[in-house]
Structure 1
């Protein structure tokens, strides 16, 4: 039947990274998403320092040509000023979004309160929590309950094959959604802690699968139809939550990045100036020649710290934005490759 073949609801996990269990994959995800941005920044800086020294010991570079070093230092100073100026411009753009007249602010506030009332209506809590992680956990619990209600509603359906398809779907829905509670720290008040877990939940697939089962069903009772609608509505609420936390997170993250760039930018300019001063004496370097490679490499690394900071923050923000770039169910990658969990066209079509 068309209803049977329309949706693959196998036991393959619906989360987006659950299958990445290798050490290399976990490390890459830690660098891109999970790792503290300052730790990643100083890790990149340490690699730069080791790389420069390695080139020196391999006789690829030298620190003896005064003119080359001073020209490099001048370029570093100009680059550091340009980077700081760029970050200040980004910060001004973010601040411009924060300024709003009373009417716009009231509309935004009303939207947030409507969102919180939706959470309260679809969950068992009387007041929606204020911690981002607890909000995600509350909605996840509501999704599990709606899935159980759908399973109860189709029990004893006259089309046994359709009943089995729905039960397979609700089993997978429960497994994927309970994974959220296993990963999340409900005491967290950071938007990113909630977002990092929410991003992994494949709500787009869940919505598509539920709609496909409902639309291709041979017959639906009022109870079953209402159960489908409640589940799809709760999944949409999860998508709204994900988007809300993404917006809050990106605003806070880019603001923090601007602050840290200013903090690191001033030492970077001073370090570049010190490199020029080390070689500014007509009689040669101002310090012991044996220490010169280490000191110059260290100062050059300090100059590159703002760039490393930029790389670490762009990695995370770009990855989060890329993984949540669509609104509603949509497959943007490997469109011709059939994968477990894809919603396929009905055989009747």
Structure 2
């Protein structure tokens, strides 16, 4: 094979505490837990700054006007954004019968392809089990290709065996990281890397260089491998759509709940202040304001937590075919 065209024998792994923490923050972590971490940081910063006197929250400060106007308008704006997102999700669900049948036919065609290559009577509905079946079938087909190479009359180079071994290892690595019954986003993150694209390119290179020397059996196995790699590419995009739709639907609901609470707290904190005094002991005012601000920014924290994951998924699944997404390019800014 030409220099620089190699197979990816495993999906990407997250190493190091910093990388794992960042991965949890932007992708794998529960979004409510991520929002809670952001809120804890906000409350901690405000509590510290008010205790040391860098932020004024006393009776004659501008805190009352901030709670009465700025925070209320910001909360209403954020809730409006959440409702707009909800409308976007609904627009993706609706469709004419012809459009819905077309979507159904596309999904059934993907399942039919996998079923034919796997030789199973039924393809599982669970996303994790479906991807696991694709990976297991990919490994099996790669091993068959290697057997056909070794049993062939023609003298085939060892590079073809290395290719088959790499594809088989790639399928095994996917299988090892898949757990049945997990959320779609956890299944999706296994195949977010560019490994499938590299393997598609390697498959095309093998076909161009050795296709005329392969037996019918080996050619059939190579066709199946290419079809299964394409199935991984399509499955990745389909799971991305499902994952983002689920996340945005949850986001609109949670922001609506927390937005109402934030609005009530904003009004309550504004009424705590009198012209020359407050209705709570002055000593507890920094804590009350810090916690109140934490409640008020809860919708924003939830929004940011979900946007972290949406932006990460969208960035790393830009490409459908054998191209490296911008996130993995060394010249990306």
Determine whether 1:37 maps to 2:19. no
1:5 corresponds to: 3
How far is the alpha carbon of 1:273 from its aligned partner? 1.1
- Is residue 142–residue 168 contact of structure 2 (8 Å, CA) maintained in 1? yes
> Within 1, Cα distance between the matches of 2:2 and 2:150?
16
- Picking from 288, 303, 311, the partner of 1:318 is 311
> Within 1, Cα distance between the matches of 2:2 and 2:157?
9
Q: 1:61-116: per-residue Cα shift (whole Å, max 9, x none)?
A: 12115351022111010000000001101111210121112222222222222222
The 10-residue stretch of structure 1 (74-83 or 174-183) with the greater mean CA deviation from structure 2: 174-183
- Is there any run of 5+ residues in structure 1 with no aligned partner, and where? 338-349
TM-score normalized by the length of structure 1: 0.88
Partner SS, residue 43 of structure 2: helix
> Within 2, Cα distance between the matches of 1:7 and 1:158?
26
- Picking from 78, 81, 98, the partner of 2:73 is 78
- 1:60-79 residue pairs with structure 2 within 5 A? 60-64=54-58, 66-73=60-67, 74-79=69-74
Determine whether 1:195 maps to 2:188. yes
Count residues in correspondence: 328
- 1:197-276 residue pairs with structure 2 within 5 A? 197-200=190-193, 202-217=195-210, 219-223=212-216, 224-276=218-270
Determine whether 1:142 maps to 2:142. no
Partner SS, residue 195 of structure 1: helix
Specify whether residues 284 and 336 from structure 1 end up closer, same or farther in structure 2 by C-alpha distance, changes over 3 A only: closer
**More helix per residue: 1 or 2?**
2
Determine whether 1:299 maps to 2:292. yes
> Within 2, Cα distance between the matches of 1:266 and 1:141?
48
What is the alpha-carbon root mean square deviation over aligned residues? 2.1
- Picking from 285, 288, 291, the partner of 2:278 is 285
Specify whether residues 336 and 254 from structure 1 end up closer, same or farther in structure 2 by C-alpha distance, changes over 3 A only: closer
> Within 2, Cα distance between the matches of 1:269 and 1:37?
22
- Is there any run of 5+ residues in structure 2 with no aligned partner, and where? none
TM-score normalized by the length of structure 2: 0.92
- Is residue 6–residue 198 contact of structure 2 (8 Å, CA) maintained in 1? no
> Within 2, Cα distance between the matches of 1:105 and 1:269?
40
- Picking from 115, 139, 151, the partner of 1:120 is 115
1:342 corresponds to: none
